[in-house]
Structures are given as structure tokens and as C-alpha cells.
Structure 1
Amino acid sequence: MTTDTSDSTILLIPGHWLGAWAWDAVLEHLTSLGHRAIPLTLPGLDETDTDRMTRTLDEQAAAIERAARANSGPVVVVAHSGANAPVSLVLNQHPGLINRVIWVDSGPATPGIAFAPDFPQEAEGLSLPPFEMLGEQASLEGLNADQLQRFRERAVSEPGPVLRQIVHVTNDARFDVPTTFVCCSMTSSQITELTKAGHPMFAEVANLKSVHYVDLPTGHWPMWSRPSDLARIIAAEALNN
């Protein structure tokens, strides 16, 4: 039997094409470490939802907010990859709800930017690309054949409205939320250098008041390539409030 080591509830938010299932291995490790963690499947990524292709970033942010409010204690949000957009909206709208945000090979969305603003209006959604193409955009390092097969079998196409919606954030209180970057396919040194250089993709990082970087060298999906190490990092950062 494990004993709770933190009052925080950890919300695990997966990136594009993924549901709560993507966190299975990390969830198992977090539970064994005595933490209460809840993986979410965002609106639009539930394959049983017949209207899922109409879901928006606003609906995804609302789902994260509801999950955060459902817990009486402090909440730590873990956001992987494309989950940065809806989590950024929550940080903007309800910064007081979140004790810490942990970006996993991700980071706060740049204001005024959409993931794919030119995604065709007539296209319902974006399917998981062939791995040869995906690997040119995000590192597949550390994933074995079985993991790639599960990724392919379980992936759900990303709704067009989510891809096209521009992220609008204006509340400076979002910068006060303690922040951790788990750096996988990019190192912490690379991120800090790009931030100092004023790279537009890291515009938000320079304004954060409390930032901690943790390097976890692997590919873009560490919840599969290094789940126990990722869980230990999340557990440690959840206590760092």
C-alpha cells in the first residue's frame, strides 16, 4: 500500500492525437510513488464522441478547468506537446486554479498563434502522419516497434477547429504560476538560449516569474520512452510548491 506524499492532484494532459491512455505507464509509477494523478482525454480526442470533430480549444480548456475545480486541494497540471494551447488558455483565464504547470517537451503557447491556421476549412481533422513524416517534425527517439504500433492503433485525428483556433492570452497573472520545463528533444540550454535571443516561439518564457528546468534526454514522447523517469520528475516537481 502506498501513502500520499503530496496534497496536490496531478492532471495529466496528453498532446495531439492522444487520450488518457497515453499516460498509462506514467500513471502506474506515480500511483506507486503515492501521488494522486488523473489523466484526461480532451474534448475532440474521445473516439466515442460523435461530435468530436467540432470541438474547440475553448471546450478543451473548459474540460481542464472542470477537472481542476473538481479537486478541493492544490492542482498540478502536466501538459505534453500540443496540450500547450488549451492549458495556456486555462492559465490565462484561471491562474489561481493551478499551483504549478509542468510542460513536457512543450511550453506556453505564443499569443496570437494557432497550431495550423491554414488547415483547410473543409477538412474535419488531422490524422496521425506516417512516422517517416512525423519523425521530421518531432523526435521518435526511444520508441520501440510495439510502442509505435500502439501509437498508430490508438491515435485519434485532431479536430480541425482545435488546429485553427488562435490562442488569445492577456492576463499577466499567468506568469506568476510556478513553471517546470521537462526538456526532452530540446535541452534546457537550447531553450534558455532561444529565450534570451527573443525567439518568437519562446516569447512567453521570458516573462515567467518562477521557472525550473529538468533535462530528460529522449524523444518527444517520454511517457513511453522513459515513463519511470518522467514520473519521478513529475512527482518531485509536484512537491516543489
Structure 2
Amino acid sequence: MDIILIPGLWLDASSWDEVIPGLEAAGHRVHPLTMPGLGTPASESAEIGIADWVDSVVQVVDSLPDSCIVVGHSGGGNVAWGVADARPGRVSRVIFVDTVPPPSGFGISEFTVRDGVIPFPGWDYFPDEDVHDLDEETRERTVPLTSSVPARVPTDQIVLANRARYDVPVTLLMGGLDQEAFEAQIDQWGPYADEFHAIADAEVVRIGSAHWPQFSVPARLTELLNAAVAR
């Protein structure tokens, strides 16, 4: 199976390096991506938005001989769901890593813009629930792997128009939430709850991690990815 790996904000294809060997050992062909405009100045990236990130992944999907699995971590989940909307017949499953499928008209989040781009804010910016399992060595090792993202990407509203996306099976690998806890939480999120409940086949699996399992528990994440692909 071809598996497309979409990183979250500030990360490139190398963020999946500890996960890829286990996927390949299971016989999969893995395509880790670096998104357009990552690490480039505003003079080169000011016009790049979330639709461009979706389009870049759609191009990869279209280049493959058969259907594929699309994996999105964090903000990359918005991109993955946009791909399912654009190519529902070519995506056999979407796997969200500690994130949820967004409803149309919503963005990822807002972060401070500096010199026309959004730099990584540092691990201390995030709440403890997101980073509690990243030790100092991991934090020091991974900060150099981060790069700025185009300012429009996190705040652009994603546009979803194809209801066939709801027929694409979905697995949500959530850091600290199992299915029951997740559904109790998302039911408080208005349009996000409507989007989730519209999906015909959606499962939630607890990772047992904070927000960056590819850094903190890569073996566990790999195991769960392989299990989701096999469904």
C-alpha cells in the first residue's frame, strides 16, 4: 500500500524518519512530504495557502498507480481531509494523528507572524498536555528540524464541497483519548462534531502520548499506523 505522510506545521518529511522503517518493513511504500513554502521567506511564500498544500498532496495521489492511505499529523490533518474531499475515490483511508477532520470554513489556528511568516514558537509555547512526554534531549534534537510556515496556511479556511469524503474510512489516532472520551469531547465542538458524525466509518484509537508521538513514541505510532492500514 502507498502511504502519504503529511507533517504538521513547521515540520518537514524528516519528522517521520523514526516511523518510516517500520511501515516499510510491513511492506508499504511510504511517501513523506515537505509542504510548499516551508522555511522560505515571505517574498517567496506570501501567496501560499492551505489550498496549495492540499493541491500539492493531490498531485502525489494522482501520480500513484492505485488508491492510497493519507496520514496527517496535527495541522496536516486539515490537508489530509482536503485531499479526501478532492479525491475520495483514490483515498482508501485517512489517518489523523492527534487531530480531527475539520469542517468546511475553518482554519488550523492562529500564531504570531514575524517577517511575513510564522516561525516555530518553541516547545514552551504549548500546554503541558501537548508536550509532557518530550524530554529535554528530544526537545533540543527536534527544534532544529522546524522551519517557518507561510503566514496564510494556518489561518486560511479550508473549503470542502464533496460529500463523498464521508464515505472514506477514517482512523483517528488520538494522543490521550479513546473513542468514548473523544466522542464526549468532540460533541462540545459544534461543526467539528457534525463533520465527525457524518463520516460513515470512523474509529478512534488512543496512542497514549502527547501531541507529537512521532518524536516521543515512534514505535507505538508505527504499530498503530500499520494496524489502521491493515483494516
Distance 1:168 1:93 in 2: 10
Q: Which residue of 2 aligns with 1:3?
A: none
SS of structure 1 residue aligned to 2:57: helix
Aligned Cα root-mean-square deviation (Å): 2.3
Distance 1:49 1:22 in 2: 23
Q: Which residue of 2 aligns with 1:168?
A: 159
Distance 1:126 1:49 in 2: 10
List per-residue Cα deviations over 1:114-139 (Å, max 9, x = no partner): 2346976x851221113222235x61
CA contact (8 A) 1:117 1:165 kept: no
Pairing partner for 2:150 from 153, 159, 184:
159
Q: What amino acid is aligned across from residue 59 of structure 2 in structure 1?
A: R
> Structure 2 stretches of 5 or more lacking a match?
none
CA contact (8 A) 1:123 1:160 kept: no
Distance 1:129 1:159 in 2: 14
SS of structure 2 residue aligned to 1:96: coil
Q: What amino acid is aligned across from residue 126 of structure 1 in structure 2?
A: I
CA contact (8 A) 1:60 1:86 kept: yes
Q: Which residue of 2 aligns with 1:223?
A: 214
Pairing partner for 2:192 from 198, 201, 221:
201
CA contact (8 A) 2:130 2:211 kept: yes
> Structure 1 stretches of 5 or more lacking a match?
1-7
Q: Which residue of 2 aligns with 1:60?
A: 53
Q: Which residue of 2 aligns with 1:192?
A: 183
Pairing partner for 2:116 from 96, 120, 124:
124
SS of structure 2 residue aligned to 1:101: strand
Do the aligned partners of residues 154 and 198 (structure 1) sit closer, same or farther apart at CA in structure 2, a change above 3 Å counting? closer
Q: Which residue of 1 aligns with 2:76?
A: 83
Between the aligned residues of both structures, percent identity stands at: 26
Distance 1:11 1:55 in 2: 21
Distance 2:24 2:223 in 1: 11
CA contact (8 A) 2:67 2:89 kept: no
Matching of residue 42 in structure 1 with residue 35 in structure 2: yes
Distance 1:28 1:81 in 2: 21
SS of structure 2 residue aligned to 1:186: coil
SS of structure 2 residue aligned to 1:115: coil
Q: Which residue of 1 aligns with 2:227?
A: 236
Q: Which residue of 1 aligns with 2:125?
A: 133
SS of structure 1 residue aligned to 2:19: helix
Deviates more, 1:72-81 or 1:39-48: 39-48
Matching of residue 148 in structure 1 with residue 114 in structure 2: no
List per-residue Cα deviations over 1:147-194 (Å, max 9, x = no partner): 211321121112111122111212111100000010114343222113
Do the aligned partners of residues 53 and 28 (structure 1) sit closer, same or farther apart at CA in structure 2, a change above 3 Å counting? farther
Q: What amino acid is aligned across from residue 141 of structure 2 in structure 1?
A: R
Q: What amino acid is aligned across from residue 30 of structure 2 in structure 1?
A: A
Q: What amino acid is aligned across from residue 20 of structure 2 in structure 1?
A: L
Deviates more, 1:38-47 or 1:94-103: 38-47
CA contact (8 A) 2:176 2:206 kept: no
SS of structure 2 residue aligned to 1:85: helix
Distance 2:22 2:174 in 1: 20
Tell me the TM-score normalised to structure 1 length: 0.87
CA contact (8 A) 2:66 2:90 kept: no
